[in-house]
């Protein structure tokens, strides 16, 4: 996520040997704006009053059956929270059993639902357990039983390196990891990287280069790694895979990029819904300047509402097609 309060942007993870989309499909999706976001589509608040509240929320990821969502909440002490869809309604909110003490955010559920990757400043095992780590590292937990999670483990030294924080992990169906990091190993600004899962360890990270953008943050990789949606300069872009490289980035339309800062893209398993985070007010709420000045109670109500400039999780129809193994 680009997130508005991380001060400076962050994230990403990536690598893979994958089957590229057909040349015709890649050219079509890179030339037809309406293929991605309909011009008449409107963003909506995701689970208003439950997941999206007057507080700060961002970074969604769903279990394979779509019945549980993990997301981040909190402007200072970032915390991972889950909500369940019961009879078509979101509720049953809980702090994830591995969160609630240190700054934890950017949860992403693996394709098979057996792991959750996230970033955290929790201390390493060899360090004092009373102070946070200076860097945000990528951690993971494995499923102990349905709905239960084990003890968090930090990813290896090839992913988490000294003096560099990582953000916004995303993982493909093959287990290949994508994420972003600022000024990592001499790479200027917020850049994204990927690492191939070799069955028992991750390979050497490689930087992602995409024409048309200088920075790549909050990368969301399609399960089959055929496309990448990411944030650059607060706007959201998409790039299709072109063999072992990427087609030039294409900025998504004004239905998403409306001038407010966006972050944390995530596409549903069926390829029909894009979830993302925005402090968006335009199109949702603005003061009626023809009306009377607000009194204190009205001001308090305005600031306690959903559209108080704190990040919310939005959703909008998208056309990228169902992607899988």
Flag whether 287 is in a domain. yes
Give the range of the structural domain holding residue 279, as residue numbers without chain letter.
Answer: 12-317
pLDDT digits (tens, 9 = 90+) for 19-53: 334 444 444 444 444 458 888 899 999 999 999 99
pLDDT digits (tens, 9 = 90+) for 78-113: 999 999 999 999 999 999 999 999 999 999 999 999
User: Which H or E element spans position 140?
Assistant: strand 137-145
pLDDT digits (tens, 9 = 90+) for 146-186: 778 999 999 999 999 999 999 999 999 999 999 999 999 99
- Nearest Cα residue to 176 out of 232, 225, 213: 225
CATH number at residue 21: 2.120.10.30
Alpha-carbon gap, residue 134 to 147, rounded angstroms: 31
Alpha-carbon gap, residue 71 to 83, rounded angstroms: 8
Flag whether 126 is in a domain. yes
Alpha-carbon gap, residue 164 to 271, rounded angstroms: 33
Tell me 47's DSSP state. Answer: S
Characterise 297 by phi-psi region: left (phi > 0), alpha (psi -120 to 50), beta (else).
Answer: alpha
Flag whether 107 is in a domain. yes
Flag whether 323 is in a domain. no
Alpha-carbon gap, residue 188 to 79, rounded angstroms: 29
Domain total for the chain? 1
Characterise 282 by phi-psi region: left (phi > 0), alpha (psi -120 to 50), beta (else).
Answer: beta
- Nearest Cα residue to 273 out of 32, 25, 41, 14: 41
In whole angstroms, how far apart are CA 188 and each of 214, 243, 301? 9, 26, 43
């Amino acid at each position: 996520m680009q997130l508005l309060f991380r001060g400076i942007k962050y994230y990403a993870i990536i690598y893979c040997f994958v089957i590229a989309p057909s040349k015709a499909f890649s050219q079509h999706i890179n030339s037809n704006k309406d293929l991605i976001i309909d011009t008449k589509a409107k963003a909506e608040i995701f689970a208003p009053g439950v997941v999206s509240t007057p507080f700060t929320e961002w970074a969604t990821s769903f279990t394979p059956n779509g019945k549980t969502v993990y997301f981040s909440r909190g402007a200072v002490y970032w915390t991972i929270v889950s909500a369940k869809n019961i009879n078509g309604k979101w509720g049953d909110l809980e702090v994830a059993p591995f969160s609630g003490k240190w700054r934890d955010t950017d949860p992403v559920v693996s394709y098979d639902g057996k792991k959750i990757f996230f970033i955290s400043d929790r201390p390493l095992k060899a360090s004092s357990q009373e102070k946070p780590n200076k860097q945000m590292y990528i951690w993971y937990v494995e499923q102990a039983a349905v709905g239960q999670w084990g003890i968090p483990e930090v990813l290896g030294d090839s992913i988490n390196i000294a003096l560099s924080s990582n953000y916004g992990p995303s993982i493909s169906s093959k287990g290949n990891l994508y994420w972003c990091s600022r000024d990592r190993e001499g790479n200027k600004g917020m850049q994204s990287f990927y690492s191939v899962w070799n069955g028992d360890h991750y390979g050497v990270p490689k930087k992602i280069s995409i024409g048309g953008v200088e920075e790549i943050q909050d990368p969301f990789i399609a399960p089959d790694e055929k496309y990448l949606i990411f944030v650059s300069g607060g706007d959201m872009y998409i790039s299709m895979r072109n063999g072992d490289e990427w087609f030039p980035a294409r900025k998504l339309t004004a239905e998403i990029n409306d001038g407010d800062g966006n972050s944390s893209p995530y596409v549903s398993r069926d390829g029909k819904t894009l979830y993302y985070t925005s402090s968006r007010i335009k199109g949702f709420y603005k003061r009626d300047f023809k009306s009377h000045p607000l009194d204190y109670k009205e001001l308090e109500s305005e600031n306690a509402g959903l559209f108080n400039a704190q990040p919310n999780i939005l959703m909008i129809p998208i056309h990228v097609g169902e992607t899988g193994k």
